[in-house]
């Protein structure tokens, strides 16, 4: 699909069909995320792919009960890697790594459209709760969740 068409079709999809997302499509989403620009080429970001129903249920609760978090076949939790961004000091921690994650999140959403999928960017969630649910080490900060699946409607 041409980029202009992907941009035209991209929407926030909050209603997903029960159809699972093929593993190769999830790999393509991860590949797209990793192609995003990153400060100094440090790739100060980390992605956790969640497919497990119980984990998605707990993430839904952490995301202020937004039901589509649990309903999406795939949730990609995008995290800042505060250890990798250290060479840039405070500005790296407070800004650059967040920008890196944001660029990756957008790539995921655009690639999803290209693959015939839909997605939505979730920023409203209790960060510490997400860290606990995913057993994230202290240097990983969850910054966005991307819910992905086949749209329930065109």
The residue ranges of every structural domain in the chain are 3-149
pLDDT cut 90: percent of the chain above it: 98
Residue 154 has a pLDDT of 75
Residue 77 has a pLDDT of 98
Q: Are 115 and 25 in contact (CB under 8 A)?
A: yes
Which segments within 99-139 are labelled E, that is strand?
118-122
Please give the Cα distance from 46 to 88 (Å, whole number): 17
- Overall average pLDDT of the 35-56 stretch: 97
pLDDT class of 153 with cuts at 50, 70, 90: confident
Q: What is the CATH number of domain 3-149?
A: 3.40.109.10
121-142, pLDDT tens digit by residue? 999 999 999 999 999 999 999 9
Please give the Cα distance from 78 to 85 (Å, whole number): 15
Please work out, in degrees rounded to the nearest 5, the angle formed at the alpha carbon of residue 121 by the alpha carbons of 18 and 43: 115
Give yes or no for residue 119 having a pLDDT over 90: yes
49-99, pLDDT tens digit by residue? 999 999 999 999 999 999 999 999 999 999 999 999 999 999 999 999 999
């Amino acid at each position: 699909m041409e980029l202009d068409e992907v941009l035209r079709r991209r929407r926030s999809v909050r209603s997903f069909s029960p159809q699972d997302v093929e593993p190769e499509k999830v790999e393509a989403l991860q590949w797209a995320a990793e192609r995003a620009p990153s400060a100094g080429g440090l790739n100060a970001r980390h992605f956790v792919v969640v497919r497990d129903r119980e984990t998605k249920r707990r993430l839904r609760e952490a995301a202020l009960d937004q039901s589509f978090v649990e309903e999406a076949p795939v949730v990609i939790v995008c995290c800042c890697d505060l250890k990798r961004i250290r060479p840039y000091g405070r500005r790296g921690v407070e800004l650059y790594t967040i920008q890196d994650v944001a660029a990756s999140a957008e790539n995921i959403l655009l690639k999803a459209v290209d693959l015939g999928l839909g997605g939505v960017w979730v920023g409203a969630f209790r960060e510490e709760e997400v860290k606990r649910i995913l057993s994230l080490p202290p240097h990983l900060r969850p910054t966005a969740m991307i819910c992905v699946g086949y749209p329930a409607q065109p």
